[in-house]
Amino acid sequence: MKYILPPIISVILAVTILLIVRRRKSNEYVPQSEISLHLGWRRISYRELEEATNAFGESNILGSGSFGSVYGGILSDGLNVAVKVFNLQSEQVRAIKSFATESQVLSTIRHRNLIRIIGCCSNTEFKALILEYMPNGSLEKWLYSHNYFLDILKRLNIAIDVASALEYLHHGHTFPVVHCDLKPSNVLLDEDMVAHVSDFGIAKLFGEGESTAQTETLATIGYMAPEYGTEGIVSTSGDVYSYGVMLLEMYTRKKPTDKKFGEEMSLKSWVSHSLDENTITEVVDTNLLGREEENFAKKDQCVSSILALAIECLTDSPTERINMREVVRSHVFSFSTTEYVGTEFSVALESPLQNSIHFCRLGCIRKQRKSMFSFSTSENVDGELPDELGNLKLEKVNVHNNSLFGTIPISMFNISTMKMMELSANQFSGHLPSTIELSLPNLEELNVAVKVFNFPSERVTKSFDIETEILSTIHHRNLVRIIGCCSNKEFKALTLEYMPNGSLEIWLYSHNYFLDMLKRLDIAIDVALALEYLHHGLTFTVLHCDLKPRNVLLDQYMVGHVGDFGIAKLFGQGESIAQTKTLATIGYMVPEYGSEGIASTSGDVYSFGIMLLEMYTRKKPTDAMFGEKMRLKGWVIQSLDENKIIEVVDDNLLRREDTNFSA
């Protein structure tokens, strides 16, 4: 349908102007330092772990389960960590499989509401993952332990955090990841009470086109979807069901396996009945609602909405359940919170990033060749590369910027699974073997875009390094994906996924190309999701710094992907703005960027607003009709004030004779 209506366009343009005008200002300039983010995995020895955890002493145990135990510890550099040690004594096969699964999943995902892996320690007799430490423990502890309490608002924030994590796993990743064991004990809380989903030991990774799988691994009784428990069918809908159960538990403070539940009544039916009878005070945690409390009616309405959302997640048929994207966008998580709780606060849905920079993915040799796990290389590693590397099932090797010397083993060039090899900035000698295949089997017939950097130039080298670093550490369905790179002293190129429909700029301005109103809106949403992820979905912040239609690429399904991170900025924890001498594109730069070189997330928001105006007016901000007296922004504002948007909107979108013109 090509025609939607002036009021809708008015709303779009008004929101766009708001984005441009109401940018968040920082009162304090924080200079950008060298980014020293822990983007890679640390390789940590058993001895260091032993020292960090007081020889895995009982006093250091944070928790335990069938997989083994988690110990608190302090590494030699003073970093607090949680060390998850897998029990290889009683159930070795299951423990090894759980270790491999969790390593694989954690190496490919990154989101502010997912537990972050720091390193691992693995040999035939010992396997452990080193995870970020969560000082406030699990959600389960806060629900059931004495002297711990979460009010309505805090429970809601945690519910939103978990929903955001699941939305990322199901919809924000290149392929879906199903957690399979969501429950309060697997939701951990950091020092700011922000929730992080953990324990991916039985998770499932789906390939392209896959939506369900069968498993014999049982999750936790009470949280499993009906189809999981009866048929072993795993899907994203199963996680939605588990989320619904957990949401009920959070507000009733009753486990699904509580002794009051049985064949005749379950947690779900108990709450459903209370909603039907308008008696939720009988099921809600007594610490949350009291009729004598101030604002009781508003709190009652708030909790009722949350419980009703949970029931929607618990539909018996997986095909009829809502998905996590619908959960996150539900009115329950986007209402005016002041109206409900009586306390002024705002709820920001942090949305869907992932892979570590500088990492290798290794597979065990011989019998366990399919078992994949990851580790990172550190800088200042010296020595020679051993011939035995050729026995491994390598996908990516990145030993850039170390002190390695000697010749490169011929065996490394015969690994059929290899996707990327980065060996630059070392002290290798000799010639590359003449037996190298010209192409790798797993990349044959793959359509790619090869971005070749104009050499030699210090600026170009910096741009290559920045884009390689960022694309190696982010992963979202609306960001261009890196496939590999080629780099030496004389040539640098990135191999990117191919976007057959070209750029948004082509579709806006080229002859015989047309985007209707809905398609433009879909692309705008795609770009907004990508920016939300870069700004809020990671443990660090990424600024694009050059958002414009040319840098939005469209795949075969016309899904928008943000590309070109050559002048992007990475912010460490606590940083919010930076100063730069690198100019972006005239017309899309926020005023403080162009005048003072100040880059911040607000700058990307401004660029998004300009691009949104351009998408619906089909006028570049540098169009000849604009100048000192009138700019694109002012032109649109005037049309909104005078209710004349038909005079500024792309002629192909609105005509008075169109069907539904006035709706």
Residue-wise pLDDT tens digits, 146-191: 899 999 999 999 999 999 999 999 988 878 999 999 999 999 999 9
If asked whether residues 617 and 572 sit together in one domain, one would say yes
Looking at every residue in the chain, the average pLDDT score rounds to 79
CATH of the domain at 19: 1.10.510.10
Residue 347 covered by a domain: no
Q: What confidence score (pLDDT) does residue 52 get?
A: 94
User: Pairing mode, if any, of strands 560-562 and 552-554?
Assistant: antiparallel
Mean pLDDT (whole number) for 298-318: 93
Q: In this structure, are residues 376 and 359 in contact, taking their beta carbons and an 8 Å threshold? A: yes
If asked whether residues 397 and 464 sit together in one domain, one would say no
CA distance 199 to 219: 12
The residue range of the domain holding 416 is 357-443
pLDDT, tens only, 74-95: 998 899 999 999 988 867 788 8
Q: What confidence score (pLDDT) does residue 62 get?
A: 92
Mean pLDDT (whole number) for 577-584: 64
Q: What confidence score (pLDDT) does residue 297 get?
A: 83
If asked whether residues 50 and 170 sit together in one domain, one would say no
Q: What confidence score (pLDDT) does residue 438 get?
A: 43
The pLDDT > 70 percentage for the chain reads 74
Closest CA to 569 of 533, 586, 545: 545
Q: Is a pLDDT exceeding 90 seen at residue 361?
A: no
Please identify which residue in the block is written with the tokens 């890679």. 40
Q: Is a pLDDT exceeding 50 seen at residue 289?
A: yes
> pLDDT-derived band of residue 574, with 50, 70 and 90 as boundaries?
low
pLDDT, tens only, 333-349: 754 343 444 333 333 32
Closest CA to 410 of 395, 427, 431: 431
Q: What confidence score (pLDDT) does residue 89 get?
A: 80
Q: Give the up-direction half-sphere exposure of residue 199: CA atoms within 13 A in the CB hemisphere.
A: 22
If asked whether residues 373 and 466 sit together in one domain, one would say no
If asked whether residues 410 and 536 sit together in one domain, one would say no
Which residues are within 8 A (CB) of 435 and not within 5 positions of it... i.e. 6 or more apart? 410, 413, 414
Mean pLDDT (whole number) for 371-382: 43
CA distance 75 to 63: 19
Closest CA to 232 of 248, 208, 215: 215
If asked whether residues 579 and 466 sit together in one domain, one would say yes
Q: Is a pLDDT exceeding 90 seen at residue 635?
A: yes
Residue 265 covered by a domain: yes
Phi, psi angles (nearest 5°) of residue 474 = -120, 150
Residue 138 covered by a domain: no
CA distance 214 to 237: 13
Q: Is a pLDDT exceeding 90 seen at residue 13?
A: no
The domain total for the chain is 4
Residue 351 covered by a domain: no
Could you tell me which residues are beta bridge partners of residue 451?
A: 494
**Using alpha carbons only, how large is the chain's radius of gyration in Å?**
27
Residue 348 covered by a domain: no
> pLDDT-derived band of residue 24, with 50, 70 and 90 as boundaries?
very low
CA distance 358 to 380: 13
DSSP structural state of residue 551: G
Q: Is a pLDDT exceeding 60 seen at residue 201?
A: yes
> pLDDT-derived band of residue 353, with 50, 70 and 90 as boundaries?
very low
Q: Between residues 201 and 654, which one has the greater pLDDT? A: 201
Domain edge (last residue) among 428, 443, 458: 443
If asked whether residues 66 and 160 sit together in one domain, one would say no
Q: Between residues 76 and 412, which one has the greater pLDDT? A: 76
Q: In this structure, are residues 550 and 562 in contact, taking their beta carbons and an 8 Å threshold? A: no
CA distance 172 to 161: 15
If asked whether residues 468 and 419 sit together in one domain, one would say no
If asked whether residues 474 and 595 sit together in one domain, one would say yes
CA distance 54 to 36: 29
CA distance 593 to 603: 7
Q: In this structure, are residues 33 and 663 in contact, taking their beta carbons and an 8 Å threshold? A: no
Annotated binding-site members for ATP: 84
Type of residue at 424 = S
CATH of the domain at 391: 3.80.10.10
Mean pLDDT (whole number) for 360-371: 30
Residue 37 covered by a domain: no
Q: What confidence score (pLDDT) does residue 363 get?
A: 30
Annotated binding-site members: 84
C-alpha distance from residue 394 to each of 245, 427, 456, 491, 496 (Å): 40, 22, 31, 24, 20
Q: In this structure, are residues 86 and 67 in contact, taking their beta carbons and an 8 Å threshold? A: yes
- The alpha carbon dihedral of 452, 455, 459, 462 has a sign of positive
Q: Which two tokens stand for residue 218?
A: 């049982």
If asked whether residues 218 and 294 sit together in one domain, one would say yes
- The verdict on whether omega for the bond into residue 456 sits within 30 degrees of 0, i.e. cis, is yes
> Is 658 a catalytic site residue?
no
CA distance 80 to 399: 27
What secondary structure, in 3-state letters, does 374-421 show?
EEECCCCCEEECCHHHHHCCCCEEECCCCEEEECCCHHHHHCCCCCEE
CATH of the domain at 60: 3.30.200.20
Q: Is a pLDDT exceeding 90 seen at residue 417?
A: no
Closest CA to 634 of 658, 613, 655: 613
Domain edge (last residue) among 79, 104, 132: 132
Mean pLDDT (whole number) for 550-574: 87
If asked whether residues 381 and 327 sit together in one domain, one would say no
Closest CA to 242 of 310, 334, 175, 330: 310
Residue 423 covered by a domain: yes
- Collect contacts of 329-333 with beta carbons under 8 A, ≥24 apart: 331/305, 332/305, 332/306, 332/308, 333/156, 333/159, 333/160, 333/163
Alpha carbon of residue 569 to chain centroid: 18
Q: What's the whole-model pTM score?
A: 0.59
Phi, psi angles (nearest 5°) of residue 427 = -125, 40
Q: What confidence score (pLDDT) does residue 435 get?
A: 45
Q: What confidence score (pLDDT) does residue 655 get?
A: 64
If asked whether residues 276 and 325 sit together in one domain, one would say yes
Print burial letters for 4-17: b (CB count within 10 Å at least 16), e (below 16): bbbeebeebbeebb
Q: Which of 181, 285, 564, 650 is catalytic?
A: 181
Residue 244 covered by a domain: yes
Domain edge (last residue) among 443, 460, 492: 443
CA distance 481 to 446: 13
